[in-house]
Amino acid sequence: MDDRTMRAVLFDRFGGPEVLYVGRVPRPEPAPGEALVRVRAFSVNGGELAARSGRLRLFTGQRFPQRVGLDFTGEVAALGAGATGVAVGDRVWGVVGRTAFGSAAEYVTVRAGRLGRVPDGLDLVAAAALPVATTAVTALRDKARLRPGERLLVRGAAGGVGNAAVQLGRAYGAEVTALARAANLNFVRTLGAHHAIDHRSVPPGELGLFDVVLDTAGTDLRAFRRLLAPGGRMVTIAFDLARPAASLGYIAASAVHGRGRVRFFSGDPGRALLDELAARVAEGVLRPAVDRCFPLEETAAAHRALEAGGVRGKYVVRVD
């Protein structure tokens, strides 16, 4: 096989998981300051589903073929001129960029400063469930400034960011309430949740008050904002894709109207944040949660599974 090309997951039109296929594209070369990473695994994220379906076409454009894959683990295969902080052969993890995709492939290039070293002893396939956990670190530590003894509500607690937030919230000393499907309540308890509640059986208004609310869904923000105690903070990592203008408008208006600003951000980790993640893993307070692992050729099945709901942690795709 021509070593100037590689396998990658592509799609030629917007649509459901069935539009995904494995094709061949040129193998990238690292530019100055970049590293070429041999990808071993990546996880499936909600933003990719939205991009593939066309709901993010204002950001992704309409030129095809397009790519999927946001995060990754692997080994550094080559370095561009001036790239520092990592060496060829290092086991690394990272995210290609806030609005970029393309890690669903045999190789990916990324700025060297966006790579962190995977902790020793952590399998690279399992480790692919964790780069998204940097979003939980930023949300709780930096945006909400969660303090020991505070009451934390995690919405979507069984998902990729949510399961990490439950683990980190417990490690930060908070009293953690996890919202999840009934079938996943035992799972979030094993992560460290003090209270696990079926989000379908208990309406938001009956949940009580919280010092910090972390939302991973982006819908019904008004209802969950009402749960903030005096001095409470709400952080969301999503907005309502069915009503994007109204949803983002509400988030913006929350800074000046009503009780408690809704802080919105999109994760974009660099080396410092990835190293913080590695430290939490080394301490034993954060562990990867892999629901199921798929081969590269079944990436469409992984997308389909995530769309069906009910994931416990992350769906990971293995690149052999």
What local confidence, expressed as pLDDT, does residue 98 receive?
Answer: 65
Low-confidence residues of the chain, pLDDT below 50? 240-241, 245-248, 250-251, 253, 256
Three-state secondary-structure class, residue 66: strand
What local confidence, expressed as pLDDT, does residue 266 receive?
Answer: 64
CA atoms within 13 Å, Cβ hemisphere of 15? 12
DSSP 260-315: S-EEE------HHHHHHHHHHHHHTS----EEEEEEGGGHHHHHHHHHH---SSEE
What local confidence, expressed as pLDDT, does residue 59 receive?
Answer: 77
Neighbours of 212 (CB within 10 A): 27
Q: Which of 295, 299, 288 is nearest to 319 (CA)?
A: 295
Structural domains of the chain ordered from first start:
5-130+270-281+288-318 (3.90.180.10), 133-264 (3.40.50.720)
What local confidence, expressed as pLDDT, does residue 141 receive?
Answer: 93
Strands (E), 58-150: 66-67, 71-79, 91-95, 107-111, 115-117
What local confidence, expressed as pLDDT, does residue 256 receive?
Answer: 44
What local confidence, expressed as pLDDT, does residue 247 receive?
Answer: 46
CA distance 42 to 166: 22
